Structures are given as structure tokens and as C-alpha cells.
Amino acid sequence: MRPLSVHARAWAELLRLPALFTVPGDALAGAAATGLCPGRGTALAVTSSLCLYEAGMALNDWADRAEDAVDRPHRPIPSGRVHPAAALTAAAALTAAGLALAARAGRPALTVATALAGTVWAYDLSLKHTEAGPATMATARALDLLLGATATATGPAAGLGARGARGARGLRVGRGRDAAGVGRGARAARAAGATEVAGADGVAVAGVAGGLGRMGGGAGQAGGPGQVGGGAAPAGGSSRVVRGAARPGGFARAADGASRGERPGRPPGGARGGRAVREGAGRVSSALPSALALGAHTLAVTSVSRHETQGGSTTAPLGALATTLALAHAVARPRRVAPGPPSLPTGRRPAVRFGLPGTTHAPRWAADTGALARAALALAYVTTAARPFLHAALNPSPPLTQRAVGAGIRALIPLQAALAARSGSLGSALVAASLAPAARRFARRVSVT
């Protein structure tokens, strides 16, 4: 084997590359729990999670280098294939990269990622060999799922496509400029002694002294009538009527918010912004059950891993087996949906009253497909984890215990897919489940423990 291949294999063992396939499903399951389609924020959460996960792997071997020199001298650092300083540098660099990627998804995502990074470093440096170790690792996995939910619900283009988000931002900016122009135009019209004439079809502004104030755009140009509610008025041109004529007997609405008594020059976005924050927080909170499920599985697997080098514990594998069966039963059941009207995008109102004839429901075949997918993924989860846990409980030797830990780590993939399917996102479930064959194949070459 060439030196480059030896070096690459050493880093693959240090970073436990086969376990990397268990990470994207966290963000996908979190995004599915919010009820939104995965977007740019979800992709940023996936890449951030990958960096933070690998940072934890490198830091773990650096912190355990003295222990591994006795129990597992074949590991990359005790065997001399990777220098301890290089492992620590890689952990710091990957942590910084993960936080930078999370920051691109917004401040809420960065907050969750910071908590995740702090949990990982606290586990590797001080809490791993304490009673709080399994719970800390479970918290890290739950935070990883919540990172995907937060980045999807509050990140860039949340709930919209990128083009839709740009359009919405442009509309808000345009409305703000129009409102500002209304204030300036009104002041200019008053200074020039303009009179406002109300009609059934619109508003026309007549000026004196050879020029008029331009409503919705600033001061008018000399030598021609002003323009109402729109673009520049050419010299000598005719006036334009506000787009969207006024109701009979009333004034036309200029620049959206002005007729509602809102303050000119400031877009009416405060209320919508507050509603968007509340809606995003509500969607993130809907991912808590999925995060608790992943945390429970991680807690069980981590409890088994504490005895993988010496063996001798039957309680931890039995507890992990019971947890696996309970979670499989939970994810196979349909998710309860709170009664009430469906949520609408920020700033939108229902066009008709809910409950009127013509309301559409999900087709029966879609519900049957979802139930079948949940059952199949729950079965795959049990098949992957239950049998190795049972073997480790019957014979708690180090090889069988290590095999149970590896199976428990790989079982995260069908569990994540089942959680996504339970949330109604079959596409995310299929993407997560498709990573299982690659994880199994690479685990034959590089150990995940």
C-alpha cells in the first residue's frame, strides 16, 4: 500500500467515515417535522452537521489517546499514523467551518449549532467517562435534528423557493419606497398649492407654477403634470392614474399602506415579522418529538458503548433492545395532527372560510403509501439493531458488544427515514434510507466505533 493510501486510511479511521452517512438524516428528519420542503437552509444544516460531527470524531481520539494506547493501540493516534496536534487542529478547523456554515442559515441556526458544538466538546473533553456521558451524547444528536428544523423554518427562503423569497423581499422594498414617496409627494404638493380631485376612477393631481409633486416617487418635473403612484413623469407628458382605480366615491390607494393610516416612509413589516418569528418557532417546536426519539436511541447506544472494550454488561444491551422495540412501535404509528385550519404563509389570509363544500382531502392511496413506508422503515430499523443487541445481552463479550454498537449507529439511518416518513415527507425518507447501503459497505472497510 502506498504512503498516500496509508495516510488517507489513517484519517478515514480517525474520522470514522462510515458513520458520516448517519448525519444527513438528522437534518432531513428535522426539516420534515416542520412541514416545509427542504431548501437552502436544510443544505446548510446538513453540511454544518457533517463538519461538527467529524470535529467530534477527531477530538474524541485526541482526548482518548492515552486510554487508546492501552485498550486500542491500533487506533491512528496511538499507532503513530496521525499526530495528536494534527487531530486537534482538524477538530478546531471543522468546528469553525460548521459554525460558519450554520451562520449562513441565519442567527437561530447559528445559536443551535453553537449549542451543538459546545455539547460535543464538553462530551469529548470532560463528560464522556462520567454518568452524564450518555445523556450528553443524546443531547448532541437531538440538537443536530433541531439544527435541521431551525435552518429550514427560519433560514434563507424558509417556506419559499429562492425566487419566491427574492420576489417577496423586492415587494416589501418596493412598498417601503412607495410609502416614502407618498410622504415626499404629499409635502411637495402642499408646498406648491396643489389640489386633489377625487373621482370614481382614480386620483389626479393638478399643480401650479409649472410643476407638480410626484406621488409615489418624489418631486415632479418642471413643465409637465405630475405622475400618481408610479414611475417618472416626462416633461410635458400627461398624468397617469394610480394603478387599481379607486372605489366609487373614494380615493385611490397609493403605495399600499398609506390609505390604511400607516406611517409614511416605513414599511408595515413589524407585525408580519413578529408573526414570522412565531410561526418559525412553532415549526421548530413540532420537531421536538423526533429529536427526543433520536436522543433516546443515541442514549441507548452510548450506554452500550461504554462497555465495548471490556464487555461484561447485559443490562445496557437489554435496555437498548427495549428502546429499539418501543421506538419502532412509535414511528410505525401515524403522526397526530392538531385540529384546525392549515397554516398559511406569512402575510396571507384565507380566501374562503374553512369548512365550505369543495374542501379537498389527501387521497386514500397517499395515506396507504405513507403507512406502508412507515411500517417498512420501522421493520428495517428493528432488523438492523435488535438482533445485535440481543446477542450482546446473551454474550456480553467485547467483540459482540462492539458489533452491537456498530449496528446501533447504522440503525440511525432507518430511524431517521421512518421519522421523516411519519412527518409526511416520503422524499426525504427515501433520500435518508438510500444512505444505508453505502454505510454498510464502507463499514466493512473502516470501523464505525
pLDDT digit string, tens, across residues 96-114 = 999 999 999 999 999 999 9
Contact 234, 221 (CB under 8 A): yes
198: its cell numbers: 377625487
Check residue 272 and give its pLDDT: 60
Rounded to the nearest 10 degrees, what angle do helices 40-63 and 133-154 cross at? 160
Check residue 307 and give its pLDDT: 85
Cα 346–chain centre separation: 18
Q: What is the mean pLDDT of each run of 10 residues along the chain (449 residues)?
A: 75 94 97 95 97 97 94 93 96 98 96 98 95 96 98 76 42 46 47 40 36 38 40 40 40 40 49 73 93 97 89 90 96 70 49 44 68 94 96 93 94 97 94 94 86
Check residue 171 and give its pLDDT: 42
68: its cell numbers: 487508546
Residue 310 and residue 439: Cα distance in Å, rounded? 26
Contact 419, 331 (CB under 8 A): yes
Residue 89 and residue 86: Cα distance in Å, rounded? 5
Contact 255, 179 (CB under 8 A): yes
Phi, psi for 320 (deg, rounded to 5): -65, -35
Check residue 354 and give its pLDDT: 42
Residue 90 and residue 15: Cα distance in Å, rounded? 10
Residue 118 and residue 405: Cα distance in Å, rounded? 24
Q: What angle do CA 269, 275, 279 make, to 5 degrees?
A: 140
Q: H helices within 238-363, ranges in order?
A: 270-285, 288-305, 315-332
Residue 246: which residues within 8 A CB-CB, separation 6 or more?
198, 199, 200, 201, 202, 203, 252, 253
Check residue 260 and give its pLDDT: 43
Residue 57 and residue 49: Cα distance in Å, rounded? 12
Check residue 279 and give its pLDDT: 85
32-49 CB burial, b ≥16 within 10 A, e <16: bbbbbebbbbbbbbbbbb
3 state DSSP class of 17: helix
122-161 CB burial, b ≥16 within 10 A, e <16: ebbeebbeeeebbbbbbbbbbbbbbbbbbbbbbbbbbbbe
Supply the DSSP symbol for 214. B
